[in-house]
Amino acid sequence: MLKIGALAIEFPTVLAPMAGLTDRVLRQLTDEIGGCGLLVSEMIAAEGLRRRNRRTLEMIAGPPRPTRAPQFIQLFGADPEALAEAAAIVSAETGYAGIDINMGCPVPKVVRSGAGSGLLRDLPRLGAVVAAVRRSTRLPLTVKVRLGFSQVNVLETTKIIEQEGADAVAVHFRLKSDGYTGSARWELAAAVRANLRIPLLGNGDIMTLAFALEKMKSVDGVLIGRGALANPFIFREIAGQETGEKDWGGYVRRLAALIAEHYPERKRLGKLKAFTRFLVLSRPGTRAWKKRRTSPRRAAFSRRPSR
Ligand SMILES: Cc1cc2nc3c(=O)[nH]c(=O)nc-3n(C[C@H](O)[C@H](O)[C@H](O)COP(=O)(O)O)c2cc1C
């Protein structure tokens, strides 16, 4: 069992935060399927929450039904006071079980503002952010980082995060400068873990049960992002729970029903496409098929009358 602060978590697996994807629909459905220990929201702007921006409040509006697994809100921002105020709002006014701080986002606009992975190259600010949020909330607090900005400094960052009072740290084993390219460098997990007293959660490229079980030996828990979209049954598999004949049709139908419940009509197809994109790409042969279908030469060829 994984413990984050006072919170005991049944399974050492986490649905990784993904902007535009880990909304209440995907969190609820992942929870319904079962086997996942913790669900993390999309990244939420601390400034937006502090100002009670209508769209931000909509994004964090509580899940319609309580989930079995606890749910955390992920906040992003560069100003320690804004993050602290946002964390206080989450604690006092929502039912979320904990807070995660984003220190990994590589999106240029976010990095330029000093937030996301921008914090990995400003260690005084990184420490001030964790300290301010720690002071403002008693909820379990985690921080998600990358290995570093353009150079590995994960031993330093995770130590500061621990010293400033976080309850666990999640590491995506890539640099900011890697984006999503190359392979996650899991070989660094052992050194990071040996340097910490709080739990270490590892993240990056977990797509299969075998890969997950292998990597779980070197960390206290794992975050799974794209792999959970490609195979929504992966948490059950890791938990050793029966998956039977995986009911892909049932999964997509339930997804569509939850989308219809929570989104206006004009947004529904886009949402369904976003959620199912990885599902389709993970099927054998579909990558090649998609490439053939979308190549301009192929498209031109297919317009010729057949003989
Ligand atoms: C579409 C997409 C959106 C993401 N949004 C976030 C986010 O909001 N916050 C965050 O910390 N990480 C975000 N990530 C990174 C993931 O949480 C995770 O670190 C990364 O995808 C590597 O893990 P994976 O190989 O299991 O997907 C995002 C990733 C993807 C693919």
Assigned fold of 2-247: TIM Barrel (3.20.20)
Count of alpha carbons within 13 angstroms of residue 127, beta-carbon side? 8
| pLDDT at res. 225 | 98
Catalytic status, residue 36: no
| pLDDT at res. 199 | 98
Please choose from 40, 102, 172 the residue to mutate so as to test ligand 1's pocket, defined by most ligand atoms within 8 A of CB. Answer: 172
| pLDDT at res. 87 | 98
Residues of the chain with CATH 3.20.20.70: 2-247
Q: Mind listing the pLDDT tens digit for each residue in 87-102?
A: 999 999 999 999 999 9
What is the pTM for the complete model shown?
0.93
Catalytic residue among 105, 143, 222, 228: 105
Please tell me if the CB atom of residue 106 comes closer than 6 angstroms to any atom of ligand 1: no
Please tell me if the CB atom of residue 21 comes closer than 6 angstroms to any atom of ligand 1: yes
Q: Measured between alpha carbons, how far is residue 210 from residues 132, 159, 161 in Å?
A: 39, 30, 31
Q: Mind listing the pLDDT tens digit for each residue in 257-291?
A: 999 999 999 999 999 999 998 887 667 777 676 67
- On the question of pLDDT at 303 being above 50, the answer is no
Q: Mind listing the pLDDT tens digit for each residue in 94-145?
A: 999 999 999 999 999 999 999 999 999 999 999 999 999 999 999 999 999 9
In 3D, which of 74, 87, 76, 97 has the Cα closest to residue 223? 74
CA of 49 to the centre of ligand 1 (A): 21
User: What count of other Cβ atoms lies within 10 Å of the Cβ of residue 146?
Assistant: 27
Please tell me if the CB atom of residue 172 comes closer than 6 angstroms to any atom of ligand 1: yes
- On the question of pLDDT at 304 being above 60, the answer is no
| pLDDT at res. 65 | 67
Please tell me if the CB atom of residue 17 comes closer than 6 angstroms to any atom of ligand 1: yes
Four-point Cα dihedral 211, 175, 26, 53, nearest 10: 170
How many whole angstroms separate alpha carbon 67 and alpha carbon 32? 8
